Amino acid sequence: MSLVAKTADLQQVARELLSTYGPDSESADFFDQDAVVIDCTKSKAAVAVCDLPAVISALQACRLKPVAFRGQVTDNGSAVQGLGLVLAAPEVTRSKSATESRKGPQAPVEMVKEVVREVIREVVREVPAAAPATLVIDKPVRSGQKVYARGADLVVLAMVNQGAEIVADGNIHVYAPLRGKAMAGASGNASARIFSTCLEPELISIAGVYRTSENPLAADIQGKAAQVRLSDDGQEKLLFEALTT
């Protein structure tokens, strides 16, 4: 998982993290000690190393485990390593658009996984080689429960209740009301999609681009059969489209 900061003002990033996922937010239990790479490659200015502790503390308060840093800093790399972060290769970036990501294997994402795997091997649990490419859940996902299809698509045949969380590195299909939180493309797959026969989520996210229920869905989408995907124009915008039979 990556935190993509488009500004060098990490103090602001830290405040926004705490506001959305901090202990006092409505999504305080959204994460569960997931590994995260701090990605500042999209920042137009170099990041001040002295600002990194603020975003590290914010991530930890949001139940995330920062393990690596990617981007330019005003100091040398040893200062970053002194904060307990591994330096990820600068060329490790997510594809600029969903269209480009569909053209072939996403080598950058795999490189990020290697960094995370070496740093906290005990936290990252991989899907065995013989495991199916799709995880199927045939029971309701209740409030407080979290389901993660690591390295796979996720299919849910029952309701995802408010307060529940479903996450997949691939696509998510919910053949019932989706009322909790859904995160597809969790490892950076910008071509992942979310489908539901009744879309009314608390939070929707694809490859780190999210939207909460604070921004109501359109009338022809809310509570209807719909899909969610990222725009393929490089703007990283979530698109909500009604599904018709």
Please determine, for residue 10, whether its predicted confidence score (pLDDT) is greater than 50: yes
Task: Estimate to the nearest angstrom the gap between the alpha carbon of 116 and the chain centroid.
Answer: 15
Most confidently modeled of 71-75, 128-132, 206-210? 206-210
Q: Which tens digit of pLDDT belongs to each residue from 152-166?
A: 999 999 999 999 999
pLDDT at 77: 67
Q: What is the DSSP string of 53-72?
A: HHHHHHHHHTTEEEEEEES-
40 and 17: one domain?
A: yes
d(CA 126, CA 226): 30
pLDDT at 245: 60
115 and 181: one domain?
A: no
Q: Select from 170, 180, 122 the least CA-distant residue to 148.
A: 170
- pLDDT level of residue 131 (50, 70, 90 thresholds): very low
Task: Estimate to the nearest angstrom the gap between the alpha carbon of 122 and the chain centroid.
Answer: 20
Phi/psi at 59 (5° precision): -60, -45
- pLDDT level of residue 111 (50, 70, 90 thresholds): very low
Domain span including residue 72: 2-119
20 and 105: one domain?
A: yes
Question: Would 187 be classed as within a structural domain?
Answer: yes
Question: Would 129 be classed as within a structural domain?
Answer: no
139 and 189: one domain?
A: yes
Q: Select from 74, 40, 10, 20 the least CA-distant residue to 202.
A: 20
pTM for the model: 0.51
- pLDDT level of residue 198 (50, 70, 90 thresholds): very high
Give how many domains the chain has, as a whole number.
Answer: 2
pLDDT at 76: 67
Q: Which residue, 72, 92, 119, sits at the end of a domain?
A: 119
Question: Would 126 be classed as within a structural domain?
Answer: no
Q: Select from 147, 142, 87, 151 the least CA-distant residue to 119.
A: 87
Q: Which residue, 119, 150, 167, sits at the end of a domain?
A: 119
Q: What is the mean pLDDT of residues 184-190?
A: 90
138 and 104: one domain?
A: no
55 and 146: one domain?
A: no
Please determine, for residue 211, whether its predicted confidence score (pLDDT) is greater than 80: yes
Q: How many distinct helices (H) and strands (E) make up the chain?
A: 5, 15
pLDDT at 171: 96
| 141 DSSP 8-state letter | B
